[in-house]
Structure 1
Amino acid sequence: MTDLLYSEIEEELRASVRALLADRCPPENTLARCETGEPYDRALWQTLARDLGAASLAVPEEAGGAGASVREAAVVLEELGRAAAPTPYLGSAVLATTALLALEDADGGGDGAEAAKPLASLAAGERTAALAVPLSAMPGTGAFPSAVRADSAGTLTGTVTSVADAAAADVLIVPAEGRDGPGLYAVEATAAALAVVPRTSLDLTRPVADLTFTGTAARRLAGAGQAPAALERALLTGAGLLASEQLGIAEWCLTATVAYLKDRRQFGRQLGSFQALKHRLADLWLEVVGARAAARYAADTLATGDPDAPVAVAVAASHCGELAVRAAEECVQLHGGIGMTWEHPAHLYLKRAKADQIALGTPDRHRAALAALVDLPAPVG
């Protein structure tokens, strides 16, 4: 039977990441950074990715990584969600890295040497990457989500909208349709004929950008034999691990609200002593416990290659996506007036929770996918 409890190594990893974020990423720093034109804390990212080795957790040792798994990466995402940390971890260490790993693991048809070039630098924390698909792209659709075309010379033309972490990327992993079918290409962020246009994002801590390729030089990583499977694996892993980030958001919201209600007094009593508020928080706590089980199981199935992974991811994504938003809404409401102010970080968590809810598939779409996976018939009438 799968052990979903956190291992000693995972708890040590959590402690290290939490200590780093507490020191370098307190809410007041994040709020101040959101008002600047530099939403990402590059120094924090370098420490997290390179010094702590968080970017290399899912990369095998022979490829220059730590040789851990996505279970450990999920722990990192829990803590990043808990801190609403402005780092490109999802785009670089999860989506782009997983796509490259899938090419390295593929049997035939892919160029493992070409995929290894960007992968090694990503694992070392020397560079960052982004997977050039809309943040709303969902696994399991059977489609190859690309509006980009590749010609016979390997140059790319087309536009991809709302790409997460693209503005911070050194290299872009781009799905594109060529004459011989779909492929994956690597494009340097400094390439000529590439426009990266930031767009206003609801989530102030995870900017998105539109990418426009107009005859942009690219390096082909894989063709039709490997690209669709690699992209599907990246999206599935991203959706599964995003549930861990949503779990971290919900845990922070619950913990912060409980602490506030213990401290705030009205009518000569602690707010937390009122039975109605106790019941609301007890219900929320039960949902967080369930979300932790769902997120952990999804991460474990992805780490072990379990064929049940699509089902586990659909369950985790549909449950954790809605829970994070509800926990953030409760946090804002139960903090009263201060929860509505810019100076309080509650709005950061609400915005990230809502943006995460529509990222890599909405809860409704994941439930529809789950119904098909478990042969649950649609309602009649």
Structure 2
Amino acid sequence: MKLVLGEEQRQLRQAVRSFLAAASPPPKARDGYDPAVYARLNGELGLSGLIVPEEYGGAGAGFAELAVALEETGAALLPGPFLATVFATIALTRVPDKDLLAGIAEGRLTATLARSPGGAGHLADVTAAPAPGGGVAVHGELTQVLSGMEADVLVVPALTGDGAVLVAVDLTAGDLTAGGVTRTPLETLDVTRGQAHVELDGAPGRVLGTLPAGDGVSDGVGDRMAVALAAEQLGVLRGSLEAIVAYAKIRVAFGRPIGSYQGVKHKLADMHGKLEQAESIVRYAAWAADAAPGELPAAAALAQAYVGRACFEVARDHLLLHGGVGFTWEHDAHLFYKRAKADEVLLGPPRVHRARLAGLLEL
């Protein structure tokens, strides 16, 4: 097991951190998705193709490297479909498709993976039937699709007469109600990353392959998604802590920096302890995704059970320690708070993952 970053991973972290500090710092997150930033992120750093196999034009890196990148995008509150595209890429690496993987690796395509509302990895309520002109006609309703308004391609598990398959649906054909696809933006808590209600009424789709036996998003896909999300949550946690530590050094109350008061110091120490534990858990989970698939289910469940809650608690306390200014719309504290809460329940609330972990440990 390797929990310490190597030299190349540290260089990757510094490159992504420097890029985001200049191109997409946290205050810019409130402006929403910027395609130009996303194009540069992929063109200059190649992040979208990080875990895409080399045969499809990607870097062929592992989850240890992906976790490094996602930690930095989380700390910067990067808006847009990057995490959604990572989720879709994870599924596509299990059911490979040359065109989609190559498009993602080149930064030409953004994608999203449909999940069930509970996030437990069950098949979405979508069906696919053969279409007269070839391909399949996809029917179904998806109530919450991450980055559904920004993504170019929807990757969705669907049921056919022969079983479960993974289907790709083009979301860019015509306007938002063309081609059998209707997308409606949802009002979400996290203003930096949207969701959409997607209706598929005979939408033309392409079957990518047969899903592994199981619950439709199995064979480690759901676990790897949990690891990827935990890496982003680690970044949000770290960004929140760094922001309040910097503020505690300059905010003066009663003639002293607030960081010198015992109540603030102890709270910051507790937050730092959560960061250290979360980092160890994420590093272990990323290692398991790369090198120990037998340990991955428990590592992924632990990552979501602990890191999601720890991230929200640190973001909440960082907002409170800012005092009155932290509650204003002009301050960035609420952006971290909302991203942390949205991420905490994105793949199901922590209690779901605690129950799964308990079952895996036979408790």
Give the shorter-chain TM-score range.
over 0.9
2:157–2:167 contact (8 Å) kept in structure 1: yes
Large movers: runs of 4+ above 4 Å: 224-232
Q: Secondary structure at the match of 2:29?
A: helix
**Would you say 1:25 and 2:17 are equivalent positions?**
no
Q: Give the alignment of 1:1-381 within 5 angstroms.
A: 2-31=1-30, 33=31, 39-92=32-85, 94-104=86-96, 115-134=97-116, 136-139=118-121, 144-153=122-131, 154-191=136-173, 192-225=179-212, 231=218, 233-376=220-363
Aligned alpha-carbon RMSD (Å):
1.6
Give the 3 Å change call, closer, same or farther, for CA 126–231 of structure 1 in structure 2: farther
| 1:6 CA drift (Å) | 0.8
Question: TM-score, normalised to structure 1's length?
Answer: 0.89
1:182–1:227 contact (8 Å) kept in structure 2: no
2:229–2:343 contact (8 Å) kept in structure 1: yes
1:180–1:224 contact (8 Å) kept in structure 2: no
Q: Residue 36 of structure 1 aligns with which residue?
A: none
Give the 3 Å change call, closer, same or farther, for CA 54–135 of structure 1 in structure 2: farther
In the comparison of the two structures, how many residue pairs are matched? 354
Give the 3 Å change call, closer, same or farther, for CA 188–169 of structure 1 in structure 2: same
Question: TM-score, normalised to structure 2's length?
Answer: 0.94
Amino acid paired to 2:317:
E
| 1:283 CA drift (Å) | 1.1
Q: Distance in 2 between matches of 1:65 and 1:197?
A: 32
1:57–1:66 contact (8 Å) kept in structure 2: yes
Amino acid paired to 1:329:
R
Q: Secondary structure at the match of 1:151?
A: strand
Q: Distance in 2 between matches of 1:229 and 1:125?
A: 27
Q: Distance in 2 between matches of 1:135 and 1:40?
A: 24
| 1:126 CA drift (Å) | 1.2
* Structure 1 residue runs without a partner (length 5+): 34-38, 105-114, 377-381
Q: Secondary structure at the match of 2:168?
A: strand
Amino acid paired to 2:238:
E
Identity of aligned residues (%): 40
Q: Secondary structure at the match of 1:282?
A: helix
Give the 3 Å change call, closer, same or farther, for CA 23–136 of structure 1 in structure 2: farther
Give the 3 Å change call, closer, same or farther, for CA 51–231 of structure 1 in structure 2: farther
| 1:87 CA drift (Å) | 2.8
Q: Residue 112 of structure 1 aligns with which residue?
A: none
| 1:228 CA drift (Å) | 5.2
* Structure 2 residue runs without a partner (length 5+): 174-178
